[in-house]
Every structure is written in C-alpha cells, then in structure tokens.
Amino acid sequence: MAVDLAAVRQALAAQRIETPSWAFGNSGTRFKVFAQPGVPRSPEEKIADAATVHRFTGVTPTVALHIPWDEVDDYRALADHAASLGVGIGAINTNVFQDDDYKLGSVTNPDPGIRRKATDHLLQAVGIMDATGSRDLKLWFADGINYPGQDDLRSRQDRLASALREAYGRLGEHQRILLEYKLFEPAFYATDIPDWGTSYAHCIELGERATVCIDTGHHAPGTNIEFIVAFLLRQKKLGAFDFNSRFYADDDLMAGAADPFQLFRIMNEIVRGGALDPAYGINFMLDQCHNIEMRIPAIIRSVLNIQEATAKALLVDRDALARAQAEGDVLEANAVLMDAYDTDVRPLLAEVRSDLGLDPDPVRAYLRSGYQEKIVADRVGGRQAGWGA
Amino acid sequence: MAVDLAAVRQALAAQRIETPSWAFGNSGTRFKVFAQPGVPRSPEEKIADAATVHRFTGVTPTVALHIPWDEVDDYRALADHAASLGVGIGAINTNVFQDDDYKLGSVTNPDPGIRRKATDHLLQAVGIMDATGSRDLKLWFADGINYPGQDDLRSRQDRLASALREAYGRLGEHQRILLEYKLFEPAFYATDIPDWGTSYAHCIELGERATVCIDTGHHAPGTNIEFIVAFLLRQKKLGAFDFNSRFYADDDLMAGAADPFQLFRIMNEIVRGGALDPAYGINFMLDQCHNIEMRIPAIIRSVLNIQEATAKALLVDRDALARAQAEGDVLEANAVLMDAYDTDVRPLLAEVRSDLGLDPDPVRAYLRSGYQEKIVADRVGGRQAGWGA
Amino acid sequence: MAVDLAAVRQALAAQRIETPSWAFGNSGTRFKVFAQPGVPRSPEEKIADAATVHRFTGVTPTVALHIPWDEVDDYRALADHAASLGVGIGAINTNVFQDDDYKLGSVTNPDPGIRRKATDHLLQAVGIMDATGSRDLKLWFADGINYPGQDDLRSRQDRLASALREAYGRLGEHQRILLEYKLFEPAFYATDIPDWGTSYAHCIELGERATVCIDTGHHAPGTNIEFIVAFLLRQKKLGAFDFNSRFYADDDLMAGAADPFQLFRIMNEIVRGGALDPAYGINFMLDQCHNIEMRIPAIIRSVLNIQEATAKALLVDRDALARAQAEGDVLEANAVLMDAYDTDVRPLLAEVRSDLGLDPDPVRAYLRSGYQEKIVADRVGGRQAGWGA
Amino acid sequence: MAVDLAAVRQALAAQRIETPSWAFGNSGTRFKVFAQPGVPRSPEEKIADAATVHRFTGVTPTVALHIPWDEVDDYRALADHAASLGVGIGAINTNVFQDDDYKLGSVTNPDPGIRRKATDHLLQAVGIMDATGSRDLKLWFADGINYPGQDDLRSRQDRLASALREAYGRLGEHQRILLEYKLFEPAFYATDIPDWGTSYAHCIELGERATVCIDTGHHAPGTNIEFIVAFLLRQKKLGAFDFNSRFYADDDLMAGAADPFQLFRIMNEIVRGGALDPAYGINFMLDQCHNIEMRIPAIIRSVLNIQEATAKALLVDRDALARAQAEGDVLEANAVLMDAYDTDVRPLLAEVRSDLGLDPDPVRAYLRSGYQEKIVADRVGGRQAGWGA
C-alpha cells in the first residue's frame, strides 16, 4: 500500500478527542436511570475521571463542561484543578431545557421573559469561557413543539435568530459558536433546529465564528452523514462532532458500536478534507450515554473505536483511489476503500501507544489499574452526578 | 350514501375505550419531566380522573392499572372505589423494568434469580386480576440489549417463552394475556419482542387465551399498521390496542394527533373485520404521555379523535367499495374510502352524545366544569404520581 | 369562525397548479411499466391532456415540459399549440440521466467530456425557455454514487457548482433556476443533492434567481416537510413544489393520497407565509406517476386534493391560533388548527367551481365527458409516451 | 483465541452460496437500465457465467433460475448443460409480476381468472423443479395495492393462502417452498406479504416444507435482521436468504457493501444456530442488481464478502462470549464479538482457497483470466438478458 506509515503514526499520535463531563455521570432512558457505583459527585470528580481517560489513551486532553450541571463558584479554580490533573477545559455546553420555564421552549419560547432568561444563560456561558479559557460555546436547543399548531414555526425561527445574534455578539475574538441540530426528541412534532441545513443557514447569517456541530445520532434514518461532513468542510462550516452511535434514534451508544463502517466513512471524509489535524480547528467530542455499561471503560473503548476508524481512513491509498475514480472503475475504487477498512489496525495503534509510553491496551490497563475500585470505595455519600442532577 | 345511520349511531354509542391510570400522572422524556398542578397522588385519585373522563365522554368505563405504580393493600377495595365512581378496572399492566435488578432484563435476564423475581411479579399480577375482576394481563417487556454480543438472542427467547408459559398457566378461565411488542427503547440494539411476528409466534405457542397487543407507536418507520390489524383479525389473534400517535419513534402523543388518516385506516379494518363491538373482545386502550399539555382534556381529546376515526370508518359505503374493488377501479375504490374520511363527523358525534345525555363538546364541558380548578386546589402536598413514582 | 369566506373563495379561485407533461405518459417501477390505452404519443397530445385537466379544474393553466421527452423542432409552435388549447408552457425540466453516458453522473461525472455534454443540455433548455416564454428551469440531477469510494464526494460538489454557475449565467433577467433535491434513487449510497440544505447552499452561492424546489416524496423518513417550507419562505428561497405523496420512498402517488394531514400542514405554512398568491412566485407543480390508475382522472383528483388542503388552510382562524399560541395553550392551539382540518371543504370548493362556470365535481364530469373514450379510440398506433420514450 | 482454526477452515471450505441467473443480465432502476457489453443472451450463457463464478470462488455450485426469464423447451437438457459446466440448478423463482394481467395482483387479484393463471404458473414451476432436480420453489409476490381502499386487505390474504395451499400440495416429498416477504415496491401502500411475520404465519399453516426466505434488503429502516434470523432458526422456519445490501430501500447492492457489520451479525447468528452446514438446509442465495458495475466480478466480490463475514463469525470465541454474557459483563461480551469482527480474515480465506486449488484472490484472477474479454467479443447480436427480457 502506497501509504506513508510514519505519517500515519504521527497523525494518530496527534489526534485529539474531547470527553464530556456528563458522560461520567448517571444517565438513562425515560423509563429508568440505573445508578452505578463510583459515579462522580462533583465537577471536580468528573474532571478526575476525564483525566484518567486521558492518562490511558493519551489523546483526550480536554473535557467539555455542561452548565449548570458543572456549575461552580470559581471557574478559574476549576480550570486550574483540571490543569493540575493534566487536562484542559473544552467546550462549554449550555442547558436551557431542564427548568420548568422551558416547557414550551427556551430562546424560541412565546414568552419574552423566558427567552430573556434563556439568552442570559447563553451570555453567562461565554463568561465561563472567559474564565476557563474555553474556545467553544456549544449550543443545543431542545426547543420544539409536540403538536401541529402549538406554536408558529416561523416566529420561533425569528426568536432563535435573535438570541443567536446576541450570543454571537458577546463572543471574544478567539471564541466561537458550535450550533447543534437534532431531528427530534424531546420535541415530537417539530424541532427548531432539526437538520444541518437549518444550523448552516443560521451560521451563515451569524458570521464566520459560527459553525455547525454534527451529532452522529441526530439524523433521520438513511441520512448519509459523511456527505454532510464533506459538504460542510467544503463550505468551511464544520466546527465539531458529537460522536456516539445508534441503531434507531438518538440511542447515544458508544461511538463505532452500531456501525463501525459509517464511522470509518466519516473519518475518511475528515482525512480527505485535511481536517484531522487539531490545527484545523474541529472539535471531535464524544457525547454518549452509558446506561448499562461501566462508564470509564466505555468511554475509553469509544476513543479506541474512533482511533481505529481514523487509522483505517489514514491507510486509504489515496493515489490508487483517485486513479480508479478517474477511470470510473466502480469496483476497484470501492475495493481500494474497503481494503483499508478491512485492515486490522489494532497492532498499528498498539505501536503508536507504546511510542507514547502508554499501555497498548488501554481498556485492560484501566481495569488493572485499581482506579475503578478506588472510586467505588471513595465515592460514597453525596449526590451522584446525572442528567438533571 | 348507502349507510344505515341509525346503526352507525348505535355502534358509536356502544364503543368502548379504556384509559390508562398512568397517563394522568406526570411523564416526560429522559431530558425532563415537567410537573403539572393537580396531578393525582394515589391510585384512587388516578381512578377519579379516569371516572371524570368517562363522565364527559360516556365511552371510557374502564381504567387500566400499572403495577407497582398502582400498588395498594386491598385491590378489592380499589375496585369497589372505582365502581363507586362509575368505572371498572381494566387491564393489569406489569412493570418489570424499573427495579435496579432489571438493568440487563427481566424474564430474559441471564441471572435465573432475577428471572424468578420477574416471573413472580407476573403471577402476582394475575392475583390482582382475581381481586379486581380484571380480564386482561398486559405484558410489555422492556427487555433487550444495547450492544451486539451483550447477550444471546436465542437464549433470551427461550427464557421469555418459559416465563410466558408460567404466567399463562396461572390464568383463570376468563383471563387472558395481551402480549405487546416494541421496536426499540429502552433497548437500543435488540428488543426481545420487537415486532408483531414475535408476539404472534409466542401467542400461538401459548394458546388461545394469548393475543397480540398493538401499540400504534411501536413500529419501524413505514410499517403499515392497518395491515397488521387486518392480518391479526384474520388469525384471531388481535387482543388489544395501545393507542397514541407519533411522528418519529414512540412519541406517545395524543391518538390521532400525528396522522388522523392512519387512525381512520386502522378503525376501518376494525369495522371491516367486525371487531368494533365490545363483545368481540378487543380492548381498545389509550397509552400516551402528556408531557406538556393538560392531561385530562388531552385524554378526552384523544377519545374524541378515536371516535371520529371510528365514525368515518362506519360511514364507508361498503357495497360501493366492494363493487369498485371487484371491478379493479382503483380511483373509484379509493374515492369511496376517502369520501368517508373527508366527511365532517363532528355533528354526528355531537348527536350521539346528546342522545346519551352528554354535552356534545366534552373538552369544553370539562374545562367549564370546575374539576380542573378543584384538583389543582385540592391536590397539594404528597407525592405526585409519575413514571417511576 | 372568524374567517373571511369571500376572501377564501377568491384565493381558491386564484390558486394555480402546474401539471407535468410526463405524468400523462406511461410510467412504472423497475419491475414493470403497465401500458394504458389512450396514452399520448407526442408532446402535442400530452399538452392536449393537460389542457383537458385545466378545462375541468380551472386552476391548472400551465404544463411543464421535460426535455428530451418533449423534444420538438419548433418550440414556439409548441407554445402556440398550447395557447390554442388554453394553456401555457410552464417549467422546463432537464433530463441528464437517460443517456448511456450518464451512468456515473452528468454534471458531476469524473469525465469532463460528459460534464460538458450535460451542461450544454442545461444551456439548451434555457434556449427552449426563451422560445416558449417559460420562466423556470427545473434542475433535478440523478447524480450520485452507489458504493463508498466510487467517486469523491467533494470533487463532485465542485463540478456541480461549476455547471450550476454556467447555467445560471445563461438565464435571462426574468428566468430562474428551481433546484431540486432527493434523498436517494437512482443513486443508492450518496446523492449529490440529497437534501434541502445542499440545494439551499448552492442557491445562495448562485444568486437570487436560484431557488429550492421541494418534491414532497424526496425526504428521509420522519422529515418535517412543512418546517422546510416555513424555513425556506423565511429565507426567501422557496421557488417551487413537486407535489406527490408516498408511504415509503419516492412512491409518486397522487398528492394528498398517503397523508392528507401533511399536505394540509404544508399548505398551512404556505398560507401563513403569504405565499399562496401566484404573484408571490412559487410554482406549485405536480410530479407523479400513475402506474396502475387512469392518468387524467388521477391528475384531476390530485389537483382537488391540493385544493382541499388549501381550503382547509385558508379556514384556519389565524387570530384564535395566534392567541392560543401566545398563551402557551397547547391543546387549544392544536384544536384551532384541527378544527379547520376536520372541516369538510368539498361544498365550499363546489361553490368556487360553480362560480367559475365549472362542474362542481371535476372527476365525474371528466368521466362523463367522453374525452377518455375518444383518446382511447384515437390514439392507436405510434409510440406511447413514457419514461424514457 | 480459543477457536479451532482447522474446523474454521473446514467450515469455510464447505460453505455454499447460490448465484441467481438474473444477476448476470442487465438491470437498473425505473429511471434507466444501463446495458453492459458481454451480457448473456440466453439461460445457457447465464449458467456459463454462474459456472465461471464457481470456478473462481469454489463455493457457488448452484444457480437459481427465474421463470419465465429462463424459459427453455427442455429443462432436463438445461440441467445437463449446467452439470457439464460444473454447476447444478438451484431454486426455481416464479415471476407473476410482469404480465399486463398482473397490474392489480397475481394470486391476490380480485379477478379469479388471473388468480388461476398465476397459480398455474406456480404449479408449472414445480414441474420445472421435477425436471431439473431443484429442491426449492422460491415465491416472491409483487402483489399489493397503491392506494387505501383499492382492494380488501383481508380478502387478498384469503386468496393468497388458497394459492399457496395449492402450490404446496403439488410439491414432491423432497421439495419445499421458500416464501419471501418485502416491505414495499412495487406496491406503495400495502404489500400482501410485507414482513417475516406474515410469511411465517402462512408457512405455519402450510406445513413443515414451507419456510421463510429473508431478503436482506426487504425490511423497514431500523429492522434488526439478525434477530429475525435467530428467531426463525429457533422456530425451525428459516429456509433461505436472498443476500444483497442497501443504504435506503431495496437497493440491491453487493452483499456486505453497505453494512459489513450487519452481515457479520447475521452470519454470527447462523453460526451460533448451527445452520451454516449445507446439511442444515438453508439456501444462501445472492439476489442483487449490478446496475453500474461489472457483473461477474461484482458477484465474486459479494461471495467474498459473505465468506469474510462468515470467517469472522466462525472466529468468535464462543466460550469467552458465553462467560461474559452469563456474568452480565456488557463491555467484555461486546468486546469478544468485536474482536472477531475486527480481525482481518483475508489471509485465512486466501489459505482456504489455496487448499482448494483456487487462486487466493478470485476477483483479480477473474480479471486476468480473459473470460470478460471473451464474452464481450462473443456475445454480440441477439437480445441481452435483463429484467423483463
């Protein structure tokens, strides 16, 4: 294969994935949240878990916060705490969906007072970015309606645009907005940002520091996600990923668990678009729920899955691919791509890890490390972190 | 139209729909449960609300219970309480998904002790049926797995079959099992009874007192639900409905809200199959979540929507339809059906209600009645009913 | 209801729907095309059928052409022929998918010679617009790939953009591009314009005379089409509809046949956005396949279905709706909308037709007219029009 | 890995996959059939191509026929011809969808004369089985309706059951029915056998020689196919596969091309159920359309994809898997499965082929062999085989 293996190793060593503080806490479905022993009880403990994942994988040096779930008095101190554990603060995620006020929407609510409150929360989040040095304001709105007629779709867009403008105006020069979209849930008739096109159109109107965030679980059945990746890269409007996987809806399973070939195709477009390098600016985040499996090893496993998809994408013989494509040789072009996908890249990644001084098998290394037993023993009493907690 | 309007009115007056106790309590999504004022705090208060719905609609004389959400010391007393309010106890719904034990399944759990506990719960539910005079044991299993390999699909079927046999064996002569299926949620890779075919196959093996329950929100996109209705009627294995509606997944919106034409097509197969008459034995239940709208009027509205779909189905000119079908006149056959659907049946239903001594507009009558204000004032303190509460 | 019925009648009388020449010819699935007697054998005969539809409905005064299916030597003469029958030439549809050259794409083909040929076809179509007085260049590209790796997604976008720019540059001052999108078929892995967002982004780059065309059958399951309508109206980028209906994929059934409530919701956003008036500039086209039903009455029926959905949308009590929405009264707002939907508007439309001197029941009037018998008798010999013919 | 590699090699060498005669002919979408050079012009030439695939893969010793596409005067002679080329005749596929008579259905048609004709075709196919020694009568019905009301769903089931009974009664002792199902296409509202449950219920009523055939492209989005496999194996009612792959609907792409992980999960249930061995009796067929790629190498590639999925399934460490499942170790159980999936099995399969005296890379061996050039040169004139030809 005409691939520069040293460059592949270097790219893999330089890859960066961000972990989400909330994935370390309890989560579940509307039917039940199963609590796990050892779950963090504070933002500090969540950051400690994130730092642990970084210690074993070597590629997750930042952790995203969720406000108000990670609310603290002193954000600078929290950032310092993170730094002392070897990680930095990543994206600041806003939450305008868990107050009773937000039953009919946040920034799109028909009530101007509630819109004001929600927009103020966005501005407050930028303040936290200032304090923590975070670059990214990640905006996901649960806003939408459950019944036709419940509210006016177009007016809600106007209200949304207004709040976005205000938040955008508050950004510092090196800060930016990551605007997420989602097909449905918790709204069941119409969601105010249901697809990448809606997010894109708002980002275009906001300006160049507004970019689209792709959550891999937020699409209609049959949606070709890697097409969206390729298209947004072409438009210079892809800012971030929320990685997870799904068989049905927003299942939030471990990245790569449901459709590893899709994850490979996504990373293939990233590599093809020259967007893997951290300098390009895409924030590759995880956003998952580990409802029944142990959380820290599940997050490690997800990181490994993304690394494996990336390694395969880096192994694609680009020259051979371009040649077959130019010749219209459908089978050969597909075969070149599949040749990379069918490769077992685990030995290659084991080498990369060894070169970085890491254990080649991060999951087993974690399980052997005693960390899990320690947190189960230590984290007794207090209130476990969790969705809404 | 060659339709016997007197017979239509009679059929509408005789129609029966069952309300679910849990729909009167709080519900929500995994993101948030919005509490409402006036929500019942006990099984007795839920039954009072169900009786109120019956008072205004005249067609909802039974209320389904959910165990353990509606657990009481004395079920006979609960049934008496219901009777004193003018309603009876309908299906007994089991719940084997909210204990920590059930994280990896209930009757399909790899752990035999947990399977025993879950099966015992099913047997206990039959005891409640004995005490309350309920005919129907409704079984919905949240069982499933989130990741390929997590458990063995086939062994889980064996375990499921074993528990079902035991529950079936416990049934009295006039009792029966309603076996529900669901595509996904809360399990995200494989659900142990994912479709009507699986439920049907188990029911066949159990015997004639086991029948399929169709929840209208539990199908893959594109599934033709009325085909399943027609097919199960032909096989004499349709036992019940859980009515609700959805645009996406198991959205649990008000019946008829998302796709009124689909609801009409379903009721059309019921009428065509001669299965509307309560004597036929189908339990037409609601199973919905009113996350953001007022619950009692939402349930009344759902009942009205089913009534309207039924009225339209009854208005189909069966002779003209059969003639056009026999002639292969595609457009005319479709037109005959649509002619009934396009009819505004609200005046007809208003008449039926007046004949029954009811207000012709049950929603407005309820809103005028003062009941809502009263429960908001009275039901203060205590613990609101809700999913898991 | 606080609705100005005279204004409603006027709006309905002024509504305009465009018929597609190809819907009068044979069509089918990949499995079989069932020929029908009386099918047109020339563009002139298709136009005669379209004129017949207009004669009975009064609201379809233009007919869209498809090139090369409607290729003639003298387009001005064709337009005169149409005018003599009482109809005008509508959108010019290009076809760059039925030559052997286009196996791997047209304007996105890796082969520059084939791209040139396809682009020239677009330019030729503008020439036909000049000759016929058509305003609209409708572009649908079957372009896409069947296998991952088959071609480079991003390069194909560059090629697409280039061809679109060239076609746009050729437009006259009063001409415009309608850019269609489609999720899949005939391409089965990636389509080059798969969703409204992609079409929108290209239209933005082209300029104000490029607008999006929504084909109601071209979306992923669960897509909220009326949201797209509302959003594109807000962005001033909605140019046209291709109406049809579907239960599964691009089924191309009669408009309103599969989900009449959805059609109502779409027309409701049109009315709410003030876009029903022909002066607004949206081209409301049909694009359907009548594989098994008689074509002319099927097209008439589709027109009636759109009229009925429009009438219901016009009957929505906007003041009451806005009030309930502002108050956050979910049930009441939904009820206001449904009140209009549940109304039987056929008598109202019968009146509108009578006022226009038309038969109140266009389908039956057509069937009585003898036209069908005449074309069956006359159109013998020659080659029936059909997809690809 | 505690896997017996010799047994794996043996199982792979013994695996059998059936090729379909029609996949060697032209196919396409409703938009266009792209002809290819070298396409067979007769059943004999199709069989020659099938024999060629077997020559290079070593695992495809039978070819399925499609009647009337493969109609000949002397079927015994055709079978002898096949035998002389080293292959046997596999399943006989009936075609009751391409005559004009079948516009509104075949065995479900409201017209009894058309039903008779269609049923006679099924009986005729059994005669061909007698003549060719074929064991399997494969039944796929395109039957369905496009519009609600068009025909009576339940009456169509009665007609279907009647025709099936007649065909079943005509079977010889060692013959059987494979009953296929399909969600939609070419019918767009209701299909008469839309899902496995419907096929299963009919097979139960027919008897033990009627079994279900799973076409991997015939399901609703989100359907868990391997669950159906596991379930039907448990019920002893799985008779055959039609392998292909899809991203959207019945795309008929090469098996394993769209979702290789799904194909692995399917083969994993086959291995787990002990059903891989040809003696078990499952007919593993391909059923694909190679619309734009070269057909023979595409079919070879599909065979390889199934072999690779099978090899991975055979490599699953069943003991470790069972242990992790019994312990409820979600991550470990999933990891055991994924460990097999992530393995590059191409070297193992290359060995198996070498042991069988085959070239380790069948696609390249075919391309080098000169066969393709020869058929392109020889097969000139005559009428290319194709759907409907």
CATH label of the domain that carries residue B285 = 3.20.20.150
Give B324 to chain D, closest Cα distance, Å: 8
Q: What are phi and psi of A209, to 5 degrees?
A: -90, 15
**B interface toward A at CB cutoff 8 Å?**
27-32, 34-35, 97-98, 100, 102-104, 142, 146-148, 183-186, 188-189, 221, 246-249, 251, 253-254, 257-258, 291-293, 387-388
D145 lies in which domain range?
15-316
Interface test with D, best of A224, A246, A248, A261 (most D CBs within 10 A): A261
Short-list C103, C204, C193, C86, CA closest to C139? C193
Query: CB distance B186–A147 less than 8 Å?
Result: no
Give A374 to chain D, closest Cα distance, Å: 19
Indicate the residue of A150, A269, A328 with minimum beta-carbon distance to C104.
A328
Q: What is the pLDDT of residues A277-327, one digit of tens each?
A: 999 999 999 999 999 999 999 999 999 999 999 999 999 999 999 999 999
Name, in order, each residue with C-beta under 8 angstroms of A279's C-beta and a sequence gap of 6 or more.
none
In chain A, what residues touch D334 (CB-CB under 8 Å)?
A: 257
Query: CB distance C220–A221 less than 8 Å?
Result: yes
* Total residues found in chain B within this entry: 389
In chain D, what residues touch B187 (CB-CB under 8 Å)?
A: none
Using a 10 angstrom Cβ sphere, with 0-12 exposed, 13-18 middle and 19 or more buried, the burial of residue C71 is middle
What is the DSSP-derived secondary structure letter of residue D238? E
Query: CB distance D222–A259 less than 8 Å?
Result: no
Q: What is the pLDDT of residues D274-310, one digit of tens each?
A: 999 999 999 999 999 999 999 999 999 999 999 999 9
Query: CB distance C32–D293 less than 8 Å?
Result: no
Give D298 to chain A, closest Cα distance, Å: 7
In chain A, what residues touch D259 (CB-CB under 8 Å)?
A: 259, 261
Cβ atoms D292, D33 nearer than 8 A: no
Beta-strand runs (E) in D50-97: 62-67, 88-94
Indicate the residue of A222, A301, A330 with minimum beta-carbon distance to D221.
A222
Indicate the residue of A30, A34, A293 with minimum beta-carbon distance to B28.
A30
Please indicate, yes or no, if residue C371 is contained in any of the structural domains: no
Average pLDDT over residues C95-106: 96
Name, in order, each residue with C-beta under 8 angstroms of B366's C-beta and a sequence gap of 6 or more.
B52, B56, B296, B297, B300, B372
Q: Which residue has the tokens 């916060």?
A: A65
Average pLDDT over residues B63-71: 96
Helix (H, G, I), strand (E, B) or coil at B296: helix
> Following DSSP, what letter does each residue of D86-110 receive, concatenated?
T-EEEEEEE--SSSGGGGG-STT-S
Nearest chain A alpha carbon to D295: A331
Q: What is the pLDDT of residues B7-44, one digit of tens each?
A: 999 999 999 999 999 999 999 999 999 999 999 999 99
Please indicate, yes or no, if residue D112 is contained in any of the structural domains: yes
Within a 13 Å sphere around the CA of D303, how many CA atoms are in the beta-carbon half? 32
Average pLDDT over residues D217-233: 98
Helix (H, G, I), strand (E, B) or coil at C298: helix
Interface test with C, best of B34, B245, B261 (most C CBs within 10 A): B261
Please indicate, yes or no, if residue A227 is contained in any of the structural domains: yes
Average pLDDT over residues C144-162: 98
Instruction: Give me the long-range contacts of D7-11 (CB less than 8 A, separation at least 24).
Output: D7/D314, D8/D311, D8/D314, D8/D315, D8/D348, D9/D348, D9/D351, D9/D352, D9/D355, D11/D276, D11/D277, D11/D310, D11/D314
In chain A, what residues touch B249 (CB-CB under 8 Å)?
A: 184-185, 248-249
The pLDDT confidence band at residue A70, using thresholds 50, 70 and 90, is very high
Interface test with C, best of B301, B327, B330, B361 (most C CBs within 10 A): B330
Write down the H helix ranges in chain B. 5-14, 43-57, 75-84, 112-132, 153-170, 196-206, 225-234, 260-272, 295-315, 318-326, 330-341, 346-355, 362-369, 371-378
Give B160 to chain A, closest Cα distance, Å: 20
pLDDT given at position D387 = 76
The chains found to touch A (3+ Cβ pairs under 8 angstroms) are B, C, D
The pLDDT confidence band at residue C388, using thresholds 50, 70 and 90, is low
Short-list D301, D279, D322, CA closest to D365? D301
The pLDDT confidence band at residue A387, using thresholds 50, 70 and 90, is confident
Please indicate, yes or no, if residue A361 is contained in any of the structural domains: no
Nearest chain C alpha carbon to A225: C190
Query: CB distance C292–B330 less than 8 Å?
Result: yes
Cβ atoms A242, A250 nearer than 8 A: no
pLDDT given at position A388 = 58
Cβ atoms C167, C209 nearer than 8 A: no
State the Cα–Cα distance between residues D348 and D5, nearest whole angstrom: 9
Please indicate, yes or no, if residue D270 is contained in any of the structural domains: yes
State the Cα–Cα distance between residues A242 and A224, nearest whole angstrom: 16
Cβ atoms B159, B122 nearer than 8 A: no
Please indicate, yes or no, if residue D75 is contained in any of the structural domains: yes
Short-list D54, D71, D214, D220, CA closest to D131? D71
Q: What is the pLDDT of residues D114-169, one digit of tens each?
A: 999 999 999 999 999 999 999 999 999 999 999 999 999 999 999 999 999 999 99
Find how far residue D120's CA is from the centre of its chain: 24
Query: CB distance D150–B325 less than 8 Å?
Result: yes
In chain B, what residues touch A147 (CB-CB under 8 Å)?
A: 253-254, 257, 293
Short-list A256, A260, A276, A271, CA closest to A342? A260
Per-chain mean pLDDT for chain B? 97
Short-list A156, A253, A150, A235, CA closest to A196? A235
pTM: 0.98
pLDDT given at position D388 = 58
In chain C, what residues touch A158 (CB-CB under 8 Å)?
A: 234
Within a 13 Å sphere around the CA of B136, how many CA atoms are in the beta-carbon half? 29
Query: CB distance D188–C247 less than 8 Å?
Result: yes
**What H or E segment, with its residue span, contains residue B62?**
strand B62-67
Nearest chain B alpha carbon to A30: B30
Nearest chain C alpha carbon to D184: C248
Short-list D237, D346, D214, CA closest to D284? D214
In chain B, what residues touch C342 (CB-CB under 8 Å)?
A: 308, 344, 346
Please indicate, yes or no, if residue C387 is contained in any of the structural domains: no
Please indicate, yes or no, if residue B327 is contained in any of the structural domains: no
Does B388 have pLDDT greater than 70?
Answer: no
Indicate the residue of A29, A35, A188 with minimum beta-carbon distance to B246.
A188
In chain D, what residues touch C29 (CB-CB under 8 Å)?
A: 30, 185-186
In chain B, what residues touch D235 (CB-CB under 8 Å)?
A: 201
Nearest chain D alpha carbon to A300: D331
State the Cα–Cα distance between residues A72 and B44, nearest whole angstrom: 43
State the Cα–Cα distance between residues D225 and A86, nearest whole angstrom: 45
Give D97 to chain A, closest Cα distance, Å: 28
Cβ atoms D94, D142 nearer than 8 A: no
Q: What are phi and psi of C170, to 5 degrees?
A: -85, -10
For A365, other C-beta atoms within 10 Å of its C-beta total 16
Average pLDDT over residues C343-368: 98
Give A71 to chain C, closest Cα distance, Å: 30
State the Cα–Cα distance between residues B282 and B53, nearest whole angstrom: 20
Nearest chain C alpha carbon to B309: C342
Query: Looking at this predicted complex, what is its ipTM?
Result: 0.97
Name, in order, each residue with C-beta under 8 angstroms of B133's C-beta and a sequence gap of 6 or more.
B79, B88, B89
Indicate the residue of C146, C221, C247 with minimum beta-carbon distance to D291.
C146
Q: How many domains does chain D have?
A: 1
What is the DSSP-derived secondary structure letter of residue C361? -
